[in-house]
Amino acid sequence: MSDFEAVNNGAKIGHAPKPLWLLAEVTYRCPLHCAFCYNPTDYVTHTQNELTTEQWIKALREARKLGALQLGISGGEPLLRDDIEEIVAEAGRLGYYTNLITSGVGLTEKRIAEFKRGGLDHIQLSMHDITKEINNFITDTNTFELKKKVAAMIKEHDYPMVLNVVIHRYNIEHIGEILDMAEQIGADYVELANTQYYGWSLLNRAQLMPTKEQLLKAEAVTNKFRERVGNKMKVFFVVPDYYADRPKKCMNGWGEVFMIVTANGDVLPCHSARVLPGLTFPNVKDADLDWVWNESPAFMKYRGDDWMKEPCRTCPDKEKDLGGCRCQAFLLSGDAESADPVCSLSPNHHLIEKAIEDAKNPQLAAQPIVFRNDKNSRKLVDGESDELVADFHALP
């Protein structure tokens, strides 16, 4: 705790957080249609009102003044915008460490050279599987060959090779081969990110969730690979919280280090926060980020621990996880202030146990996947797919 105390409706917050991480979700448009996408299921309502280049530049300047150091440029597919070069160059001038998070679609020699000149530090490329069949199925596209070409281009331009692989039932048995492929293409970092269930992946949860046995095997294979390659490649294995006993410290705490500006300019403390009831999120078009971060009711709402109920309020572990994820608590239990159901001490933990059982039910697991695309998003917005969302209190 430091020398600063803010006041939230009379409740003290013991320190002055800074938004060290700024994530710019510059567009929700995307040529891929991933079954596990964490983007909001109503993204189609945010594709016609994207911020302009000038509005993005203003947001970058305001966030930098607040202390932001790391900038992630993501989407959707950020490369669908033709001003990413300008945004990167401005980020470079402002002194950000900038990471482009991309599927690779739209990355060309000309663009990557321009990014290099503009000071882009890092490119994170998503990969899906070692087989063409699974890559193309899970993304509902034909992008398998393109991924390898883009990986080679990134390497040629002397960027660290950073791969992100979302893990689910369709590729978890291939983890060893995926890691071998990463080694062959000279990866420096690989993130094996087990699916977290938000957005489209929540809709497809029973179809995507691996079994605990598959997970343990995948972790063992990863550890063996790590032993073999040593420091040559860093491998992160992000454990899925449904199989954990305690929840994650979501976003390292609400409004603690992380700020997201979405395609239409809404400012959020986490990807899914718009699902939470009773909160209005400010927009960069009409609010200064200093006010948003330091004073807006939405960013103050779950800072600190005054909002907590039992069992979190008196729990000896509350500093470790801050009660887990507010969005997951609301999506599954309907109560945003309750303990994350992932926690085995939560009165709603049975909801996680049921989800794990559902994923073992062959009938539920064989349901058709709802791919992330405009048509399905529109149907969800128009209430034509209500049977898909009946189990949840909202959808991100």
Q: Which residues bind ligand SF4 (CB under 6 A)?
A: 30, 32-34, 37, 39, 75-77, 103, 126, 246-247, 311-312, 315, 317-318, 321, 323-324, 339-340, 343, 345, 372
Minimum CB separation of residue 231 from ligand SF4 in Å reads 29
Relative to beta strand 11-13, strand 6-8 is antiparallel
Please, how many CA atoms are within 13 Å of residue 265, restricted to the half-sphere of its CB? 20
User: What's the closest the beta carbon of residue 104 comes to ligand SF4, in angstroms?
Assistant: 9
Which of 187/312 has CB closer to ligand SF4?
A: 312
The two structure tokens encoding residue 281: 């999120």
Which residue, 62 or 321, has its beta carbon nearer to ligand SF4? Answer: 321
Q: How far is the CB of 317 from ligand SF4 (least distance, A)?
A: 4
Angle between helices 144-156 and 132-139 (to 10 degrees): 100
- Which residue lies nearer to ligand SF4 by CB, 61 or 349? 349
Annotated binding site: 30, 34, 37
Looking at the Cβ atoms of 266 and 340, the one nearer to ligand SF4 is 340
Which of residues 86 and 317 has its CB atom nearest to ligand SF4 in the complex?
Answer: 317
What residues form the annotated binding site for [4Fe-4S] cluster?
A: 30, 34, 37
Q: How far is the CB of 371 from ligand SF4 (least distance, A)?
A: 9
* Closest distance of CB 223 from ligand SF4, Å: 26
Minimum distance of ligand SF4 from residue 178's CB (angstroms): 17
Nearest residue (CB) to ligand SF4, 125 versus 235: 125
Q: Cβ closer to ligand SF4: 142 or 280?
A: 142
Least distance (Å) from ligand SF4 to the CB of residue 312?
3
Residues 6+ apart with CB under 8 A from 395: 40, 41, 42, 199, 202, 203, 275, 331, 380, 389
